Copies of this chain bind each other. A is one copy, B any other.
């Protein structure tokens, strides 16, 4: 299965990639590679797939996750339009990536972007920056998982989403409660209870389960004081 998937993707990409251009992108990957579409819940790559590409979200949203043998799931990150994912040091992916909703994803072959990074120092700097930014996000998230209570985790999550989603105060979340729980290291019930409590406290309004309005951002920031973005 591992290789089947890899080859399938490879074929698709080769077919599409002929019309690629290596433009003078201000952002890495923008004018490289091919654009692919994925349906809601489709697998973009699987754990242990060959890691031959970098991915950039054009539209939609993506989660990366891992499963334990006994069924526990952990979501490593959510990716929104503009985000780059799929970095691996080794030959294989260590997480799987799935579309949270219908997605357009730009796909660039590893050898291609590495080659370009060698030749183009501006490009190299951008790529480096993306990678290290990932690292920072991961470090922030570790802190959250290691040393924060449920309320603080939810507050951090909402503020992060508010910064990344288009309208800063009305969040249209692309993910389910279960996804949020698996991202924050909580259960779905705890996520639900905490959100309800925040609504009672007039910190949030939740007109629909996936639409969350921040009514008292200051309160959220206070819960989240300890760490920057």
Measuring CB to CB, which residues of chain A are less than 8 angstroms from any residue of chain B? 66-70, 72-74, 76, 87-90, 94-95, 114, 117-118, 121, 124-125, 128-129, 131-136, 138-143, 145-147, 182, 184-185, 225-228
CB contacts (< 8 Å) of A90 on chain B: these are 136
Bound CA–CA A132/B90 (angstroms): 9
Residues of B within 8 A of A124 (CB): 117-118, 124
Q: CB distance B88 to A136 under 8 Å?
A: yes
Q: List 6 A-B contacts (CB under 8 A).
A: A87-B135, A90-B136, A114-B128, A138-B139, A141-B142, A145-B185
B225 lies within 8 A of A94 (CB): no
Apart from A146-B185, A147-B182, what 8 extra A-B contacts exist at CB < 8 Å? Answer: A69-B226, A88-B136, A89-B136, A94-B140, A117-B124, A118-B121, A135-B138, A145-B146
Contacts of A88 in B (CB 8 A): 132, 136
In the bound complex, what is the Cα–Cα distance between A146 and B73 (angstroms)?
Answer: 9
Copies in the complex: 2
Bound CA–CA A132/B76 (angstroms): 15
Give CA–CA (A46, B16) in the complex, Å: 48
User: Known contacts A88-B136, A134-B135: does B72 contact A147 (CB below 8 Å)?
Assistant: yes
